[in-house]
Structures are given as C-alpha cells and as structure tokens.
Amino acid sequence: MNKLNIKLLSFLALVLISAPIFAQDGTVNINQPKAIEKLLEFKKDIKTVETYKIQIFSGSSSFTAEKVKADFMSTYGQWPVEMVFNTPNYKIWVGNFRDRLEADRALLRIKKNYMNAFIFQPKKD
C-alpha cells in the first residue's frame, strides 16, 4: 500500500471512532389536546363497515373495460362505478352497498343487461 492509501484509511478510522463522541441525546414531548385521545378511543370502538359490490366485467382489455364502464354509467347512473386492475385483468365494480339485501336488489336490475354480474365483498387492506 502506498502512503496515500495508509493516510486515507487512518483518516477514515479516526472519523469512525470519533463519531459517537459527537452524538446527541434528546427527548421529545408531544402536547396534544385531550379530544384527540377521545377520538382515538372512539375509533377503536367503531366496527368496520362491511360493504358489498357488484362485479359486472373482468377482462384483459382496458379499452373494453372503459367501454363497459361508460355504457353502465349511461344506463345506471345511481351507483358509483370504478375500474380496478388486478393482474392480469381489468374489473368493473359497481356500488358500495351497506348490506346484502341492498346489493341483491341492485343485482336484479343489473342482471338484465349484465348476465354474468355477481355480488362480492372486497378484501380489507
């Protein structure tokens, strides 16, 4: 090893050894209103709402999925519609139904134009 490498290694060793000497300790105090604690407790008590959706399309073509979505929205305007991509398919999901009965009623109407439609519960993240 030449002199330059030895000096460089010595300098790096000195820096690494002396780094902990300059470390700082500290404490963090969080001041928050009592209302936030109450909200957090309230959130724990709330049950997650299970919703139902209706799938009207599943296929590998984004163009076809967009067309199905547009056609559905022009025919049935009362329910929200979303396109979801689950590899390798595009899916068109309809609604955000609070209970199975509400979803069943919607499915009866939707099945007239989308025979392969079905009800499902989306997975929670």
Domain boundaries, the chain: 52-120
Whole-model pTM: value is: 0.61
**Residue 12 or residue 19, greater confidence:** 12
> What residues pair up with 92 in beta bridges, in sequence order?
57, 83
Identify the CA nearest to 91 among candidates 113, 62, 114: 62
Asked whether the beta carbons of 79 and 117 are under 8 A apart, the reply is: no
Report pLDDT digits (tens) over 16-42: 776 666 666 778 888 888 888 888 877
Backbone angles phi, psi at 118, to 5 degrees: -150, 160
Residue 96 buriedness (CB in 10 A; 0-12 / 13-18 / 19+): middle
Architecture of domain 52-120: 2-Layer Sandwich (3.30)
Distance CA 58, CA 91 (A): 4
Residue found under tokens 């060793």? 13
